Amino acid sequence: MSFLSLGLKPEIQRALTAIGYVTPTPIQLAVIPKIQAGKDILANAETGTGKTAAFALPLIEMITSADDSSDHEGGIDANPLTVLIMTPTRELAIQIEQNIVQFSQFLPIKSVAVYGGASIRPQLTAISQGVNILVATPGRLFDIVGQHDLSLASVKYLVIDEADRMLDLGFVKDIEKVKRLINRDHQTMMFSATFSDEIKLLADDMLISPEHINVATTTTAATVTQLAYQVDQRRKAELLSELIGKHNWQQVMVFTSRKETADHLQKELSLDGIKSAVFHGDKSQGARNKALEEFKSGKLRVLVATDLAARGLDIQALPRVINFELPEEPEDYVHRIGRTGRAGLAGEAISLVSPQEQECLEAIEAVIQQRLVLTSIAGYEQGAPLPARYRELASDPTKTKQVKKHARPNRNNRSGQFDKDSAKPQRHGKYSKKK
């Protein structure tokens, strides 16, 4: 089945052809007709399934069709903020808006992304020139609404993307406030990677007789080969460097559970001569953008990231993802390895598993309904004697503070003691998880 069957405008069909979209994904086939019919939507869809196009294409169609019927001269009205898309992270806001630009390239649609961590002035200027579709993170949206008098009264279509992540980050009250500020007669679309009880409760409050659409399977793509290596926690960084060097890997995304771990690991890789950068919430937007662009262009071999990068980042033909630490939430494993093996291409996902992470591994296996067989790399087997430097560190902890920038056998800073427990936002109120 092609996009022609969905009855989209010729200009949209032309744009899809230009960017290589031929066959709709399951989420697009399920969602687009429902949005066109004016239904509120609660859709369960993981990243990488094409959900941005699932909501963006029909909304572009609908707002341009409404404009055609109202006989505006010169195309879209100069100030009809009609669509508001709320998303939890800056990267996802940027990516969604870039996709909208592609989908509407042959139509007079104006879209703007607003997000924190960047200057507000260019964003305000873009809005003042007229905007039809606004993609926003909650904090920056309310900065503009509260301090710069942006009215949302003309918004008739509200999209809440990554609703489960929104809930995790404590944005529920922001979503509720937006509902009070937009046009009373509006249509709401909520997308979530999980269908938890909290999400269902939120949907009951936000949506009117919604269509429930579930195309998520919580399984991993068949194009991704999954491997798991058992290794002493202290030797993970050493093994990672060895794998990268031995196999001459040129583009590797490495996931950690904590920002501190990411920073520490990046320093370790640098000492081994491996060009890398970190990507997490403590980095400025400029630093994150630079790291991502250098990684995409091949200037960096490794991007060390927290789960901030597990959703929303689309890196074409990324060959490999490595879990330096297993995620605390087993569903995040699916999101992490979903960065590779996209668009039908082959990918590889490797997990470095310490004995202390056995329960995390079992939880992941339950979610993906697949067993990950633990194997060992020669020299890193369980019970293998630790190199002398580790025994020295155990007998003299003060040596962990010594950093020598020369060959690995002489380095004394490889304690490998990375804290695994990442700080997560606390949920409060009626959407909190039941203990």
Neighbour tally for 244: CB within 10 Å:
21
**CA-wise closest residue to 356 among 425, 418, 293:** 418
- Per-residue pLDDT, averaged over 189-205, amounts to 85
User: What CA–CA distance (Å, rounded) separates 39 from 111?
Assistant: 23
Range of the domain at 382: 224-410
One domain for residues 188 and 281: no
Domain boundary among the residues 214, 245, 267 is at 214
Q: How many domains does the chain have?
A: 2
Domain boundary among the residues 151, 180, 214 is at 214
Q: Residue 139 pLDDT > 90, yes or no?
A: yes
Name the residue with tokens 């959703």: 311
Using only C-alpha atoms, the chain has a radius of gyration, in whole angstroms, of 23
List the CATH number of the domain containing 120.
Answer: 3.40.50.300
One domain for residues 209 and 228: no
Residue 209 located in a structural domain: yes
One domain for residues 152 and 33: yes
Residue 419 located in a structural domain: no
Residue 191 located in a structural domain: yes
**pLDDT at residue 433 in the model:** 53
Domain boundary among the residues 214, 248, 269 is at 214
Phi, psi of 340 (to 5 degrees): -115, 170
Residue 293 located in a structural domain: yes
One domain for residues 137 and 260: no
One domain for residues 158 and 270: no
Name the pTM for this structure.
0.69
Q: What percentage of residues in the chain have a pLDDT greater than 90?
A: 55
Residue 435 located in a structural domain: no
One domain for residues 160 and 253: no
pLDDT tier at 414, thresholds 50, 70, 90: very low
One domain for residues 267 and 288: yes
pLDDT 10s digits, 143-176: 999 999 899 999 999 999 988 888 888 888 899 9
One domain for residues 230 and 365: yes
One domain for residues 268 and 302: yes
Q: Residue 419 pLDDT > 60, yes or no?
A: no
One domain for residues 130 and 234: no
Residue 415 located in a structural domain: no
DSSP 119-176: -HHHHHHHHHT--SEEEE-HHHHHHHHHHH----TT--EEEE-SHHHHHHTT-HHHHH
pLDDT 10s digits, 8-23: 999 999 999 998 888 8
**pLDDT at residue 270 in the model:** 93
User: What CA–CA distance (Å, rounded) separates 400 from 411?
Assistant: 10
pLDDT 10s digits, 345-356: 789 999 999 999
DSSP 316-363: TT--EEEESS--SSTHHHHHHHTTSS-TT--EEEEEEE-GGGHHHHHH
One domain for residues 234 and 371: yes
One domain for residues 194 and 330: no
Residue 258 located in a structural domain: yes
Residue 398 located in a structural domain: yes
Structure tokens at 202: 């939120």
Element (H, E) at 42: strand 41-44
